[in-house]
Amino acid sequence: MTITPKAPRKLTMKQRYSALTRDLEWDPSYVSDEEMFPLTSFEGITIHDWSKWEDPFRLTVDAYTKYQAEKDKRLYAVLDGFAQSQGHLSLTDASYLNAMKLFLQGVSPLEYQAHRNFAMLARHLNGPGPRFASLCQSLDEIRHAQTEIHTLSNYNKYYAGFHSYLHMHDRVWYLSVPKSFFDDALSAGPFEFLIAIGFSFEYLLTNLLFVPFMSGASFNGDLPTMTFGFSAQSDESRHMTLGLEAIKFLLEQDEKNVPLVQHWINKWFWRGYRVTALVAQMLDYMLPRKVMSWKEAFELYFEQQMLGGLFQDLAYYGITPPLHVDKAMQEKEYLSHQAYWILYQFSHAAAFTTSVPSDEHMDWLTEQYPDTFPIYRTLWEKEKKNIAAGGRHFIRGLPQLCQVCQIPMGFTEADEPFIQAQRESIFEGERYNFCSDGCQYIFDHEPVKYRQAWLPVHQIYQGNCGAADLPGVLDWYHMKPGDGGEYLGSLDNQNWKKWHDMADETGGN
């Protein structure tokens, strides 16, 4: 096939980027640089030349808007088709949506927070390159928040647990895990934020967070989620690049930046990794049709790509893999089992449901985790006996939370599956508890910050959560009957059966 020769372009991509993005910069004449950019000096980072910042995407406003509009057009075509054809009935099972409830309650509000902070960076970074990249990312993030909410609102018409995600995000115990993570980054300086979110979250961990959700959606008949996910992920490659350029830029600008950056990598790897405990249990337990195990995802996306690839590049600057990465590698064998076991026992106070894995599901888990799952299987077999005797297990008390990651303290020592890991530090006469060495390390560097943590359990005991009893707190959370508890027999489960029986009787539709 022949293609008609292109009319010569007036400017190449490089020239356009330089003219439309970089050349719009000017030097202030009636205020000093410090007055114009007051936020980029207090963290101790030294920058000599902002023009050295690279942006390989060479984006300009016209190219950005053109392709973003096309992405939205493709997404909305899928959303309409799915809604018009009652696509929700072709999901593998209503229980699949527990993963999406967790996503809407836990992750979508973070996109909005990212939008806000990148808008601030778009104003406050000194160089035009990173300012423009931040502006694009800020717009991307609000697009993600909006398309996710729009996509999942279709399920809100038919299923429990989707209705009050924003309200819940600010109040509910398990949602304080992602919320506190992001608040932690928002309350740091601009450079730490770039390493926390731009680098650690968007580059190191993004594939672990998003790709499993999206491939899981694809495998479980959830076309709209897969589409918004991949549409959002296509922006992610720019975000990864921003994070990677940020770290290389800081390291190249001044040697004095290296120890600061190393500490932020140590801190934010662990902080972000703890949030992925929610993803781990989602992959291994919440998807009716499995994509890959957490262990496999961790090996593929983290060990091979990041440790095997990226960190060899960063070694050139004297950067080493994050502290405590060895603990994360040990934990891959049991993280999901322990995280789901916690959620299972507390789901009466959650806006998603849980259930004992089926025998087939447990066989799959045994295949994936031959060394560790047999131990957890004995717990589930015991729980099946409880249920047969009429006593499905819910914990009625309130758990102790880790002061840093805010996950209930249910993780164990690596080689002792029944010994709970507990670390403690004393600061100004008060004792603080942690789930891991990683969380303790973070606290010990900034105790004044972390002692202010809004811990949901403490807040309940202090009387700040509407009531002193469970129904009162659930009411304050805006949880409704049917939102949480056991999946079998739940509102979603009953409706699902009813709709599918109906479809059988009428021959479909």
The footprint of another protein on residues 201-220 (CB under 8 A) is 206-207, 210-211, 214-219
Tokens 């998807």: give the residue. Answer: 287
The footprint of another protein on residues 179-198 (CB under 8 A) is none
Nearer to another protein, 209 or 474 (CB): 209
Nearer to another protein, 66 or 123 (CB): 66
Name which of 337, 343, 344 is nearest 383 in CA terms: 344
Alpha-carbon gap, residue 25 to 105, rounded angstroms: 40
Instruction: By CB under 8 A, tell whether 3 contacts another protein.
Output: yes
Alpha-carbon gap, residue 50 to 249, rounded angstroms: 9
Instruction: By CB under 8 A, tell whether 420 contacts another protein.
Output: no
Residue 465: burial class (beta carbons within 10 Å; 0-12, 13-18, 19+) = buried
Instruction: By CB under 8 A, tell whether 234 contacts another protein.
Output: yes
Instruction: By CB under 8 A, tell whether 236 contacts another protein.
Output: yes
User: Per CB under 8 A, which region of 104-112, 237-245, 379-387, 469-477 contacts another protein?
Assistant: 237-245
Nearer to another protein, 244 or 351 (CB): 244
Name which of 368, 178, 342 is nearest 284 in CA terms: 368
- The span from the first CA to the last CA of the chain, in angstroms, equals 45
Residue 481: burial class (beta carbons within 10 Å; 0-12, 13-18, 19+) = exposed
Residue 14 CB, shortest distance to another protein, in Å, is 6
Instruction: By CB under 8 A, tell whether 378 contacts another protein.
Output: no
Nearer to another protein, 172 or 208 (CB): 208
**List 8, 9, 31, 385, residue binding another protein (CB under 8 A):** 9
Residues composing the chain: 509
Residue 235 CB, shortest distance to another protein, in Å, is 8
Nearer to another protein, 284 or 486 (CB): 284
Query: What is the residue-wise DSSP string for 199-224?
Result: IIIIIIIHHHHHHHHHHHHHHTT-HH
**List 23, 33, 49, 70, residue binding another protein (CB under 8 A):** 70
Residue 209 CB, shortest distance to another protein, in Å, is 11
Instruction: By CB under 8 A, tell whether 91 contacts another protein.
Output: no
Q: 78: which 2 tokens?
A: 């899928």
List, in sequence order, every beta strand (DSSP E) within 349-459: 353-354, 412-413, 416-420, 423-427, 430-434
Tokens 């403690």: give the residue. Answer: 424
Nearer to another protein, 283 or 465 (CB): 283
Q: Which helix (H) or strand (E) holds 108?
A: helix 108-124
Instruction: By CB under 8 A, tell whether 73 contacts another protein.
Output: no
Residue 443 CB, shortest distance to another protein, in Å, is 32
Nearer to another protein, 173 or 230 (CB): 230
Nearer to another protein, 241 or 257 (CB): 241
Q: How many helices (H) and strands (E) does the chain have?
A: 24, 6
Instruction: By CB under 8 A, tell whether 14 contacts another protein.
Output: yes
Residue 92 CB, shortest distance to another protein, in Å, is 12
**List 114, 188, 226, 328, residue binding another protein (CB under 8 A):** 226
Instruction: By CB under 8 A, tell whether 508 contacts another protein.
Output: no
The footprint of another protein on residues 30-59 (CB under 8 A) is 56-58
* Beta strands at 416-420 and 423-427: parallel, antiparallel or unpaired: unpaired
Residue 252: burial class (beta carbons within 10 Å; 0-12, 13-18, 19+) = middle
Helix axes 223-253, 257-275, angle to 10 degrees: 160
Nearer to another protein, 192 or 202 (CB): 202
Instruction: By CB under 8 A, tell whether 253 contacts another protein.
Output: no
Do 58 and 13 contact (CB within 8 A), yes or no?
yes
Reading phi first (left if > 0) and then psi (alpha if -120 to 50, else beta), residue 405 is in: alpha
Name which of 509, 209, 169 is nearest 351 in CA terms: 169
The footprint of another protein on residues 264-323 (CB under 8 A) is 291-292, 304-306, 308-310, 312-313, 315-316
**List 115, 144, 179, 238, residue binding another protein (CB under 8 A):** 238
Q: 24: which 2 tokens?
A: 């719009």
**List 51, 187, 237, 420, residue binding another protein (CB under 8 A):** 237
Q: Which residues bind another protein (CB under 8 A)?
A: 1, 3, 6, 9, 12-14, 56-58, 63, 66-67, 70-71, 74, 206-207, 210-211, 214-219, 226, 230, 233-234, 236-238, 240-241, 244, 248, 291-292, 304-306, 308-310, 312-313, 315-316
